[in-house]
Amino acid sequence: MSDGGRNSLPAEVAAEIEALRPRYPTEEALLLPALHLMQKAAGGWLSQASIAAVAEHLGLPPSKVAGVVSFYDMFHEHPVGRHRVRLCTNLSCQLRGSDQLMDVLRAELGVGPGEVTGDGRCSWVEFECLGSCDTAPMAMIDDDYHENLTPDRLRAALKGLD
């Protein structure tokens, strides 16, 4: 990512950011979209170099960008698994068995929340309400909602990940 000391964005990320530019009256407003795009292109997390590249592209101080990254739960400052499981454990899901699903994740993946499996395949976290309480308990795996989970359905979903 480093180019003679200069940080640069992957060209396709830069192009996507530029396409969004006319939507906003300020440069700064591009920051959240830019971070989403960068994180997706960079394997699900934002390294110091990625943060610096976004900062430079938008002409913002890297410390400012880092401060924004740390504020939001969807941005990750440390490596995550190739697949990310967000298990909702908020009240409606708790009432319908998310505790038991947490046990399933521990057993199947062999790691605790926030940890990555040894092969880098998967990481999981407890997450706040994902707005799918009518299909509780549920989890978000990568970009998809897995609803009305049972221990077996969760195991099957995990097995289906490459």
Partner 1 sequence: MAFERVLTRNVGRAAARTVRGYRESGGYEALGRALKLDPGEIVEEVKRSGLRGRGGAGFPCGAKWGFVPRGTDRPKYIVCNADESEPGTFKDRLLMEHDPHQLIEGCVIAGRAVAANTTYIYIRGEYTHAARVLEEAIRDAYDQGVLGASVLGSGFRHDVYVHRGAGAYICGEETGMLESLEGKRGQPRVKPPFPAVVGAFGAPTVINNVETLCCVTHILQRGSEWFKSIGTDERNTGPKLYAISGHVERPGTYEYPIGVTFQELLDGCGGMYRGRALKAFIPGGASAPMLTAAESGIRMDFDNLAKAGSMLGSAAVIVMDETTCVVRAALRLARFFAHESCGQCTPCREGTNWMRLVLERIESGHGSEADLDLLARVVPNVGGISLCALGDAAQGPVKSLIEKFGDEIRDNLRNRRYPLPRVPFFDLGAVA
Interface ranges with ligand FES (CB under 6 A): 88, 90-93, 129-133, 136, 138
Nearer CB in complex with partner 1: 34/116? 34
Q: Which does 125 bind (CB under 5 to 8 A by kind): partner 1, ligand FES, none?
A: none
Q: Site residues (CB under 8 A) for partner 1?
A: 23, 25-26, 28-33, 35-36, 67-68, 71-75, 86, 89-92, 94-97, 99-100, 128-137, 140, 143-145, 150-152
Q: Which does 138 bind (CB under 5 to 8 A by kind): partner 1, ligand FES, none?
A: ligand FES
Closest CB 138 distance from partner 1, rounded Å = 10
Closest CB 136 distance from ligand FES, rounded Å = 5
Nearer CB in complex with ligand FES: 96/121? 96
Rounded Cα distance, 69 and 82, in Å: 20
Nearer CB in complex with partner 1: 26/162? 26
Rounded Cα distance, 34 and 141, in Å: 22
Which residue stretches of the chain are H helix? 11-20, 31-41, 48-58, 62-71, 91-95, 98-109, 151-159
User: Which residues, 6 or more positions from 103, have their beta carbon under 8 angstroms from its beta carbon?
Assistant: none
The DSSP symbol for 25 reads S
Nearer CB in complex with ligand FES: 119/144? 144
Closest CB 140 distance from ligand FES, rounded Å = 9
Helix (H) or strand (E) holding 85: strand 83-88
Q: Which two tokens stand for residue 64?
A: 């400012």
Give me the count of residues in the chain: 162
Task: Verify cis geometry, omega within 30 degrees of 0, for the bond prior to 62.
Answer: no
